[in-house]
Structure 1
Amino acid sequence: MRLPDILSTHDPLLASELAQAIDNKTKPLGSLGALETLARQIGLIQQTTKVALHKPAILVFAADHGVVAEGISAYPQSVTWQMVENFLSKGAAINVFARQNGCALQIIDAGVNHDFGKRVALMDCKVGRGTANFAQKPAMSWAECAAALAHGMRIVGNLEGNVIGFGEMGIGNTTAAAALMHKLTGVPVADCVGAGTGLSPEGVLHKQDVIEAAVALHGEMSEPLDILATFGGFEIAMIVGAMLKAAERRMVLLIDGFIVSSALLVAARMQPAILDYCVFSHCSDEAGHARMLEHLKARPLLNLGLRLGEGTGCALALPLLHAAVNFLGEMATFQSARVSGQSA
């Protein structure tokens, strides 16, 4: 399987042209703050000062996790497929926010332990009916992990737009994400683990114990795909493939919360240049996400105390991308408005 090759967006000449275009707008220098940084980043991704957003989409990948058998979630595994049904009925938060912001939404069955049958609104990419319990054996075989990566790349390869957000649904996936975070960053397990969907303090400690025992069971490993196959989920692996392909296509990648960021940890270990394409929508309230963002040297756009997943942070941050693009394209310059510029 050929993995995407991602080019750095580093271009000093274009960066200078973008800075000049931004600074020449009718405003004090730097006064639009993070929007100026965002406009510059989008320009470098799109390789132009004439930036535009085209057909933004959010992909929500759903899958189940065998590690749920260890009692690491406050909710039963059946909630995964029930929430997928909620997505298909357009009743979830991501449906509301995507619709509100004019963003296409695609739901993907990456490996839910349920038979949905043929559904028009559901993309069937099921690799299996949930991963194995990584407390006992690797979550995925190499063949399963490779299949999930390939599905993610294929899905993004067929998209028409230039902005893509990533969401997920899977009971138990904060446990998988915490294990990935620990293995890929070296942060102690205790600082990676949080309450997920609402565990008690005792439940959080149990989750920590499960991950630490699993890490000891599987021994040392350093290759990112080995770590992904051992501790990840089908939805996380599919997101990794989707991210890599999206960056290869020079799309803007909107990164959601804790689980999606864990997928990015894998992708960035494989292709560090992918970070040039990433816009971090928010800092999740899930314990560990702030540290994860710190490791990635990321500055999130929002901090709303979210910990829902589904790609909700991406949908909520999308208007800020539009604002960045629109001020660069539509705001008057000092010359066109006949306004005196700032003196040195």
Structure 2
Amino acid sequence: MSALNLDDFSDLIERPDSGVRRDAEDRRERLAVAPGTLGRLDELGEWLAAAQGTVPVRPVERAKVVLFAGDHGVAELNVSARPAGSAHLLVRAALDGASPVAVLARRVGVQVRIVDAGLDCDPALLPEEVVRRRVRRGSGRIDIEDALTLEEAETAVRLGMAVADEEADSGTDLVVLGDLSVGGTTAAATLIAALCGTDASVVTGRGGAHIDDLAWMRKCAAVRDALRRARPVLGDQLELLAAAGGADLAAMTGFLLQCAVRRTPVILDGVVSAACALVAQRAAFRAPDWWLAGHASGEPAQAKALDRMALNPVLDQGVTVGEGTGALLALPLVQAAAALAAELPVREGTADAERTGSDGADEGLDG
């Protein structure tokens, strides 16, 4: 029996400071630029101010891309355009700077951290810092067997929690979260269908590499069969991740929950991170207030999950490559929103003293 109960996170996670958000909204009303003219950038700045607990909002200076990697046994059914067990090639491309997320990360000046939760490859193929905490080699074929044992699921969730703590302790002020997986969108679709009470055909998309019609039908069948195994364990999030998730998805779920505990804002990428967020929301209903949907990936399951969590994607550029790419594209907008909220002058004749929500002290006052 597992000693970890994800429902305990409900008592640990608080919402971002609503008082600070109201202060941010009030400051926005007093800026020299007319309210509404900056569109959604106002909302992004206010979200970030509440997450930071301070007005004016601080610039995002230590963002990081965190990617959890894993292979899924269900890929053996040819439900992906990539061969089963080939996620390590995605990892290698990212490490070598040859993937879209690596190119964008260089451009915007952020580091990329890759965590092997369940790759199906020889660990010697990748650097020690990537593979050293692997939970298991590949995840089970969820249409006929559990992805993980309950003990492995707990280990994976705790891995994600530990990574979140490490990022918070190192000063990371915002995380761009993504995955490097083969077969991961099938597991994600299963989790979302189970949690939203929908059928396989409603949530099954064509993945980042756009599978053909025959592969899509195989994927639908795999999600349908996996759903039969997922629905009986809906009452326990850890059992659900063990039955129909995978090591990378379980780790991402733990990461998201612990980021909310540590008050670290996160930009979600595609359907895999959305599925993990939906599982995490089931455990702690306040947690989604710490997350931002970076982009619309075009996957029907992602749209379903974001609607359930009331998260509105920042971008919709038709980016389907995954790997954190779409979420990283949203980062400059968040940084721009923070800069505008903090640096635009207030109108003449309005008060410009700002109150800091993190320590409850008014600037300009001494003891």
* Shorter-normalised TM range: over 0.9
2:84 alignment counterpart: 77
Give, in whole Å, the separation in 1 of the partners of 2:91 and 2:341.
38
Runs of 4+ deviating beyond 4 Å = none
Residue 163 (structure 2) aligned to one of 133, 148, 155? 155
Task: Confirm or deny: 8 A CA contact 1:14 1:48 kept in the other structure.
Answer: yes
Q: 1:140: Cα distance to partner?
A: 0.8
Structure 1: runs of 5 or more not aligned: 338-344
Moved more, 114-123 or 14-23: 114-123
Residue 54 (structure 2) aligned to one of 11, 34, 48? 48
Q: 1:313 to 1:218 in 2, by over 3 A?
A: closer
Give, in whole Å, the separation in 1 of the partners of 2:278 and 2:229.
22
Q: CA RMSD in A?
A: 1.9
Give, in whole Å, the separation in 2 of the partners of 1:121 and 1:89.
15
Give, in whole Å, the separation in 2 of the partners of 1:221 and 1:111.
22
Tell me if 1:324 matches 2:337: yes
Moved more, 274-283 or 191-200: 191-200
Q: 1:303: Cα distance to partner?
A: 0.0
Give, in whole Å, the separation in 1 of the partners of 2:247 and 2:349.
53
Matches within 5 A, 1:247-266: 247-266=260-279
Q: 1:218 to 1:246 in 2, by over 3 A?
A: closer
Q: 1:331: Cα distance to partner?
A: 0.6
Task: Confirm or deny: 8 A CA contact 1:184 1:224 kept in the other structure.
Answer: no
1:139 alignment counterpart: 147
Residue by residue over 1:278-334, the C-alpha shift from the partner in whole angstroms, topping out at 9 and shown as x without a partner, is 111100022332222222211111001111111111211111111111011111111
Residue by residue over 1:13-55, the C-alpha shift from the partner in whole angstroms, topping out at 9 and shown as x without a partner, is 3233111111111112222121111111111111111322241
Tell me if 1:34 matches 2:43: no
Q: 1:218: Cα distance to partner?
A: 5.3
The one-letter code sitting in structure 2 at the alignment partner of 1:22 is: R
1:227 alignment counterpart: 240
1:184 alignment counterpart: 195
1:19 alignment counterpart: 25
Residue 194 (structure 1) aligned to one of 201, 205, 215? 205
Tell me if 1:128 matches 2:140: no
Task: Confirm or deny: 8 A CA contact 1:225 1:266 kept in the other structure.
Answer: no
2:116 alignment counterpart: 109
Task: Confirm or deny: 8 A CA contact 2:229 2:244 kept in the other structure.
Answer: no
Q: 1:126 to 1:322 in 2, by over 3 A?
A: same
1:281 alignment counterpart: 294
Q: 1:289 to 1:218 in 2, by over 3 A?
A: closer
Q: 1:80: Cα distance to partner?
A: 0.8
Q: 1:121: Cα distance to partner?
A: 5.7
Give, in whole Å, the separation in 1 of the partners of 2:21 and 2:182.
43
Percent identity, aligned pairs only? Answer: 27
Structure 2: runs of 5 or more not aligned: 351-367
